[in-house]
Amino acid sequence: MPITRWNTDLSVGVEKLDTDHQQLIATMNTVFDALLQGNSASTARKALLTLQEYVNDHFLREEKWMLKNAYVELDRHKQEHDALRQHVARLLELPQHSDDQLAVEMLVVLRDWLLGHIARSDRAAAH
């Protein structure tokens, strides 16, 4: 069961960034599924590490793209990225056998935050 889906409302009009966002959402769904299965903490952790890697790669790619385009709000945008990076790091800090419900709740917050970031901040930068 996907936690969310990419849709055209999230398009920033730059193909490589849209592809990144689609991949991010797919990775988030993988984490969600792993957490819901609940019987394999290491599967969930592996999925989370993949998400962290992808988040970091994407943010760096996006920041580079913004720098190249001399985006004036880059510093503020980077702060949002940092907050999102910290949220992912906090998810990874949860003890392996902690309550999965907490991890699911944190993932839902991350989803809402990330979708809001794409819909508002990424779109503002690209349009």
Residue 73's contacts (CB-CB under 8 Å, 6 or more residues apart) are 121, 124, 125
* Residue nearer to Fe ion on the CB measure, 46 or 113: 113
Cβ-closest residue to Fe ion? 122
Q: Tell whether the torsion through CA atoms of 23, 4, 13 and 52 is positive or negative.
A: negative
* Interaction residues for Fe ion, span 12-51 (CB under 5 A): none
Q: How many residues bind Fe ion (CB under 5 A)?
A: 2
The single residue among 97, 122, 123, 124 that binds Fe ion, judged by CB under 5 A, is 122
* Residue nearer to Fe ion on the CB measure, 2 or 116: 116
Residue 56's contacts (CB-CB under 8 Å, 6 or more residues apart) are 85
CB of 80 to Fe ion, least distance (A): 6
Q: What track of x and - describes contact with Fe ion for positions 51 through 90 (by CB under 5 A)?
A: -----------x----------------------------
Show the DSSP H helices in the chain as ranges: 15-37, 41-68, 74-93, 100-116, 123-126
How big is the CA angle at 105 (ends 121 and 17), to the nearest 5 degrees? Answer: 30
- Chain residues binding Fe ion by CB under 5 A are 62, 122
